[in-house]
Amino acid sequence: MENEQNYVALPVADGSEMAAYTALPENTLGKLPAIMVLQEAYGVNHHIRSVTERFAKEGYIAISPELFHRTASKGFEGDYNDFSTVTPHTKALTIEGFGADLKATYKWLIEQGNVDQNRIYSVGYCMGGRVSFLANALLPLKAAVSYYGGALDTVADSAPQLHGKHLFFWGGLDKHIKSENIHTVIRAVEAAGKDFINVKISYADHGFNCDARSSYNEAASKEAWALTLAFLKD
């Protein structure tokens, strides 16, 4: 398995064990910010591991938990050209399971002696965008980011529990997430009086950040990355 030394095994409250991919900055001295990188529906694959490493290069202690750990083997990667390769795992997911996995990941972070507990964040992509929203509602995060969060509107009622400010990215060409789904989310966050930034990139499609997908948009990815880093640093 690629970069086997980067994996840690996390005990989860339901008795399961979850693998997580970690990446550390070159300088690990002092108290550092940390971030949970939450996977697409295709697993903690090469793309998600690369994103995790990019955050580490920016000075974050980064960790990406394998949210399919109850039904898939460690290192599972789905096929971007065949969604059926991931449906057995996505169908088995539950809100309760997400909560247990997020708590286990957060616990690992706060147990690291060099993590600044006042600067812990989350970022998620597609399915992970919804999980990042749940993380912000469940955990005392400073801020969180959701890239084209699939089915995020189904958990919009968690908005009153958000701890930190939230950044949303959507693709204007995205046929998977309708405008009314986005409006449901934003209305809920506004009604809860929570701080947020809402960004729709008109020329981007679903999955625009992933260079392994046909929908990858280099310009949109670079712009979103720059805004994400500025948002978290602020």
Q: Which residues form the catalytic set?
A: 126, 174, 206
Report the C-alpha gap between 134 and 102 in whole angstroms. 9
Report the C-alpha gap between 81 and 66 in whole angstroms. 21
Residues 6+ apart with CB under 8 A from 192: 159, 160, 162
- Return the exposure string of 161-188: e unless at least 16 CB atoms fall within 10 Å of the residue's CB, then b: ebbbbbbbbbbeebeebeeebbebbbeb
Report the C-alpha gap between 177 and 182 in whole angstroms. 7
Report the C-alpha gap between 64 and 72 in whole angstroms. 15
Which letter does DSSP use for residue 6 in this model?
G
Amino acid at 54: R
**Residue holding tokens 């008795």?**
15
For the chain, how many residues are written? 234
